[in-house]
């Protein structure tokens, strides 16, 4: 059954739109004047949804041509899964998020959408319920090259996005949410990026993993910028952020939290499965790491053999040992009372605490600015960060004193 909202939610909202099933009256054949109105134009190459010739996204997948935009009307598409083979597609929810609810179905026994084409953009789509026999069912299973995901919501899947290991591949995810990934005792992850060329995660919210890591990336180069990645009250992730193969990683402006029910004590792991690339460098600036666990945390596990580590202007909150590279550099470790409201996950430093004005210019490396010019704004958005000669430690600027 396909359910569609009576009032379409504003595009760009984080939460999925409320939906209700439309009921239709059946009229006798002698009343031709009472008929369904044609759907309005959707300003795309192919239009999907009620009133259009293509009722389901899978029908569009069978007909689409390279370079087309497919507009999918907001609503719930239950049990509809698809393989997209074309190149240069834009797949966009319109009038609110279009919800791909797997309901036990999987394309090619891999996930809800299997994307085989190159240069695909996915916008304003919700994915839920991906399950397969080998416990790594994905909302999106990427087998092509160059995927851009924007303003999407992945929840209650075994894995949100799972990619291939093509060394020429690049993936960007921004302004998106990933919630409640995992499958029993097995270890899928909220996002699992293979050994690709480049991965960017920006302005996104990853939370409440049931098992495995919130984010695991084996990419050669990672840009993890201005995200909220957290267990919160009942998440059970293993690592909050896992970069097991090393490579070059820029981790800037993130909120990273280990919850009381987590599987392990480690928040960030880098290179723990062995370095796989010629260059292995970790640049970690203006992040806030919070240990809400029951014991001392391993804030960062950095495997021996790394070529370069720069930790600067980070805020470490709660019990736990810091890596030796955290000495100096504007890094601060403090108790939870340094935060405005730790129980409500308001991680802005309080005025007058040791985090305020503790930092310095983080510099640039390989052309990348390590200074926090932006900060995460909940949910899954960004706002400009105030510029100060001596910035606060951590991902967020402090709350001014009244």
pLDDT score at 1: 43
Structure tokens at 245: 């193969």
pLDDT-derived band of residue 188, with 50, 70 and 90 as boundaries?
confident
DSSP-derived letter for residue 225 is E
Neighbours of 30 (CB within 10 A): 6
Structure tokens at 106: 């999987």
Average pLDDT over residues 104-131: 98
pLDDT score at 294: 80
pLDDT score at 40: 59
pLDDT score at 184: 60
357: left (phi over 0), alpha (psi -120 to 50) or beta: left
Residues of the chain above pLDDT 90, percent: 84
Q: Which residue has the tokens 């930092």?
A: 359
pLDDT score at 39: 58
pLDDT score at 31: 34
Measured CA to CA, the distance from residue 269 to residue 51 in angstroms comes to 50
Q: How many helices (H) and strands (E) does the chain have?
A: 1, 37
With a CB cutoff of 8 Å and minimum separation 6, the contacts of 122 are 91, 92, 113, 115, 140, 147, 148, 149, 150, 152
With a CB cutoff of 8 Å and minimum separation 6, the contacts of 35 are none
Residues of the chain above pLDDT 70, percent: 89
pLDDT for 80-96, tens place per residue?
999 999 999 999 999 99
| 401 against 174, higher pLDDT | 174
**CATH 3.40.50.300 given to domain 2-22+40-384:** no
């Amino acid at each position: 059954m396909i359910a569609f909202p009576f009032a379409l939610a504003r595009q760009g909202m984080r939460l999925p739109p409320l939906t209700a099933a439309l009921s239709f009256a059946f009229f006798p054949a002698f009343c031709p004047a009472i008929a369904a109105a044609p759907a309005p134009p959707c300003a795309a190459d192919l239009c999907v949804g009620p009133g259009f010739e293509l009722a389901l996204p899978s029908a569009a997948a069978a007909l689409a041509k390279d370079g087309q935009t497919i507009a999918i009307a907001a609503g719930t598409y239950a049990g509809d899964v698809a393989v997209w083979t074309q190149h240069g597609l834009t797949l966009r929810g319109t009038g609110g998020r279009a919800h791909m609810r797997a309901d036990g179905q999987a394309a090619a026994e891999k996930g809800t959408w299997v994307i085989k084409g190159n240069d695909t953009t996915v916008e304003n789509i919700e994915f839920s319920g991906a399950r397969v026999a080998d416990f790594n069912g994905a909302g999106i299973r990427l087998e092509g090259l160059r995927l851009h995901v924007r303003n999407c919501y992945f929840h209650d899947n075994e894995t949100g996005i799972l990619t291939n290991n093509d060394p020429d591949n690049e993936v960007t995810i921004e302004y998106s949410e990933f919630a409640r990934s995992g499958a029993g005792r097995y270890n899928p992850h909220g996002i699992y990026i293979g050994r690709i060329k480049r991965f960017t995660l920006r302005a996104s919210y990853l939370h409440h993993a049931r098992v495995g890591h919130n984010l695991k990336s084996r990419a050669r180069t990672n840009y993890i910028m201005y995200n909220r990645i957290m267990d919160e009250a009942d998440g059970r992730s293993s690592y909050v952020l896992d970069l097991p193969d090393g490579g070059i990683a820029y981790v800037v402006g993130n909120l990273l939290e280990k919850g009381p029910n987590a599987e392990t004590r480690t928040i960030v792991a880098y290179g723990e499965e062995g370095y796989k690339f010629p260059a292995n460098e970790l640049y970690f600036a203006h992040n806030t790491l919070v240990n809400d666990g029951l014991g001392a945390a391993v804030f960062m596990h950095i495997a021996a053999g790394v070529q370069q580590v720069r930790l600067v202007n980070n805020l470490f909150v709660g019990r736990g040992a810091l890596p030796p590279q955290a000495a100096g550099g504007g890094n601060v470790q403090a108790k939870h009372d340094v935060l405005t409201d730790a129980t409500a996950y308001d991680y802005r430093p309080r005025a007058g605490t040791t985090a305020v004005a503790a930092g310095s210019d983080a510099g640039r490396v390989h052309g990348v600015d390590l200074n926090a010019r932006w900060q995460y704004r909940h949910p899954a958005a960004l706002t400009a960060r105030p510029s100060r000669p001596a910035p606060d430690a951590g991902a967020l600027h402090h709350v001014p004193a009244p």
